[in-house]
Amino acid sequence: MALTPRLKIAHLFQESSIRFCKPQAAQLHIYHTIHGLQKASHEVTLLALQGRQVLCTTDLQVFKHDKLQASQYGQLGLSGAALFKRFESGVRRLQSALHFPYLALFDSYRIAEAGSINLKGFDLIHERFNLLALGGAWASRKLGIPFVLEVNADLLAQRKFKGIPERGLRRLFAVWATQMCFNAAAKIICISASLKDHLSSTWNIEESKLIVLPCAADVDAFGHTLNSESVRHGLRLTNEPVVIWVGGFYPWHDLDLLLNSFALVLQRHPNAKLVLVGDGQTRPSVEKMVQENGLQQSVILTGAIAHTDVPDMLSIADVAVVPSTPVTASRGGTGTPLKLFEYMAAGKAIVATALNEATEVIQDGHNGRLVEAGDVNGFAEAMLTLINDPIERDRLGQNARRQAVEQYSWEEYTRRLEEIYLDVLGNTSSGSLATEIS
């Protein structure tokens, strides 16, 4: 059996307001990345901003509890000193008074300093890319270890699409910081092929540096028998056909299309229910559309739920949907959504918009149904076909489940990450590479 070096890996995320116990996609992805690598016997430390402290821990309990222990924070040098913090507070007040843009320089310095102090002897740094985040690249240079950057979207383009574009000096700095991080990275992991093509053409990154690694799902959590009856009871449902959508309410999810399509479904199945699970920016407009179209009795908005409850929620679905707007990577497209892989792991019949990301995973008629973007009638017909045909639902769901287990499990994701790391390290001994695991 081939031996894999046991690596010491730092996983960085530079965002001061993040709470890792929240069930958002970023936190889930970071958790499963770290958990998978730890399960494969690697030593993985999470390094992340928490206000003016830096989380530095191998303890995955930070993803389950909001209350953090003092032992879970890393050592700081100058940035942890009282005098430095007073200076920082003064600069921030002056910045606010003069309306000078926030450039996250204190945050980047704090992360870089924490890295240089707490990550000695590590083999590499893996950072989930965030706008203005320079700490990982600086720490990598200071420690002399490789820097792997995970990119899930062109964040400058995404902010513009969300209606909060960067402007002036902050935009100039964000462009420079983004290019600097891309240049510093030994490898850039892209969540989809379309994002890879965009980064290559727009940011002039050489192809050899870019690698596609889609998201994944916990196939075990979604594979066991669940008590769908208790979930139906909690939502006051009996035997109605159920269409379900799970995710964040953001502009790139075409919930207008979904609601208009579902209104057509109701013409033939008046008792059908649409369950929307999640919260976010566009939820108020979705609620307004539900009211204006008289869909209050047919659409259930659950709000955000714990991610551990998602398998139970999906267990009631006859059809799971992925409606998307035609947002390319150049407009901030986010790659292949986590929900798609979880639908597959749950063995659900899927209807998705036929955009680049979904077409990389869904084969129409084999493990789901694809519908052209904006096609309200087509999306409705696809849902109706599956509602009316339990045999076809089961066939598509079984194929989707099989593909998730074989290609899109977190175990497979971890295996591919290991290959990327070893490629970056050149399979040469450095740091902790002398220790090997079978």
Query: What number is the average pLDDT over the span 366-382?
Result: 97
- What pLDDT is attached to residue 91? 95
308 and 369 part of one domain: yes
Return d(Cα 392, Cα 43) in angstroms, integer.
45
Question: Does 199 fall in a domain?
Answer: yes
Domain count, the chain: 2
- Predicted TM-score of the model (pTM): 0.88
Residue type, 266: L
Q: Scanning the structure block, which residue is given the tokens 């720490």? A: 139
195 and 119 part of one domain: yes
187 and 320 part of one domain: no
- What pLDDT is attached to residue 434? 40
- What pLDDT is attached to residue 431? 46
Question: Does 272 fall in a domain?
Answer: yes
For 147, list phi and psi in degrees, rounded to 5.
-125, 115
234 and 155 part of one domain: no
Q: Strands 53-57, 43-50: parallel, antiparallel or unpaired by DSSP?
A: antiparallel
Dump pLDDT digits (tens) for 89-129. Answer: 999 999 999 999 989 999 999 999 999 999 999 999 999 99
Task: Please measure the distance between the N-terminal and C-terminal CA atoms of the chain and give it in whole angstroms.
Answer: 7
Query: Residue 239 belongs to a domain with what CATH number?
Result: 3.40.50.2000
Return d(Cα 274, Cα 244) in angstroms, integer.
6
373 and 433 part of one domain: no
Return d(Cα 20, Cα 417) in angstroms, integer.
22
171 and 253 part of one domain: no
Question: Does 149 fall in a domain?
Answer: yes
- What pLDDT is attached to residue 161? 81
Given a cut of 80, whether residue 223 has pLDDT beyond it is no
Question: Does 56 fall in a domain?
Answer: yes
Q: Both tokens of residue 264?
A: 């057509």
Question: Does 422 fall in a domain?
Answer: yes
Query: What is the average pLDDT score of the chain?
Result: 91
- Listed range (43-57, 71-85, 352-366) with the worst mean pLDDT: 352-366
Question: Does 402 fall in a domain?
Answer: yes
94 and 178 part of one domain: yes
Name the CA radius of gyration of the chain, rounded: 23
413 and 383 part of one domain: no
> Which residues span the domain enclosing 162?
4-216+409-437
For residue 81, give Cα distances in angstroms to 113, 125, 263: 12, 25, 60
Residue 28 CB contacts under 8 Å (≥ 6 apart), including other chains: 307, 338
Q: Given pLDDT bands bounded at 50, 70 and 90, which one contains residue 336?
A: low
Residue 123 CB contacts under 8 Å (≥ 6 apart), including other chains: 7, 8, 9, 145, 146, 421, 425, 430, 431, 432, 433
Question: Does 222 fall in a domain?
Answer: no
Given a cut of 50, whether residue 428 has pLDDT beyond it is no
Dump pLDDT digits (tens) for 190-199. Answer: 998 889 999 9
Q: Scanning the structure block, which residue is given the tokens 């870089």? A: 112
Q: Report percent pLDDT > 70 for the chain.
A: 94
Helices (H), 346-409: 356-359, 376-388, 390-407
209 and 236 part of one domain: no
Nearest to 37 by CA among 418, 420, 341: 418
b vs e for 21-41, b when ≥16 Cβ sit within 10 Å of the residue's Cβ? bebbbbbbbbbbbbbbbeebe
Dump pLDDT digits (tens) for 262-293. Answer: 999 999 999 999 999 999 889 999 999 999 99
Query: What number is the average pLDDT over the span 159-177?
Result: 92
Q: How far is CA 163 from the centre of its chain?
A: 21
207 and 236 part of one domain: no
Return d(Cα 14, Cα 54) in angstroms, integer.
9
User: Could you tell me which residue, 414 or 158, shows the higher pLDDT?
Assistant: 414
253 and 353 part of one domain: yes
Dump pLDDT digits (tens) for 5-15. Answer: 899 999 999 99
- What pLDDT is attached to residue 226? 74
Nearest to 323 by CA among 366, 274, 365: 274
For residue 410, give Cα distances in angstroms to 37, 135, 193, 216: 10, 27, 19, 5
Dump pLDDT digits (tens) for 170-182. Answer: 999 999 999 999 9
DSSP-assigned letters across all residues of 13-67: E--TT--TTS--HHHHHHHHHHHHHHHTT-EEEEEEEETTEEEEE--GGGGT-SP
Question: Does 109 fall in a domain?
Answer: yes
Given a cut of 50, whether residue 438 has pLDDT beyond it is no
- Listed range (22-36, 221-235, 297-311) with the worst mean pLDDT: 221-235
342 and 383 part of one domain: yes
- What pLDDT is attached to residue 320? 97
Helices (H), 167-303: 168-184, 193-202, 228-234, 255-268, 283-292
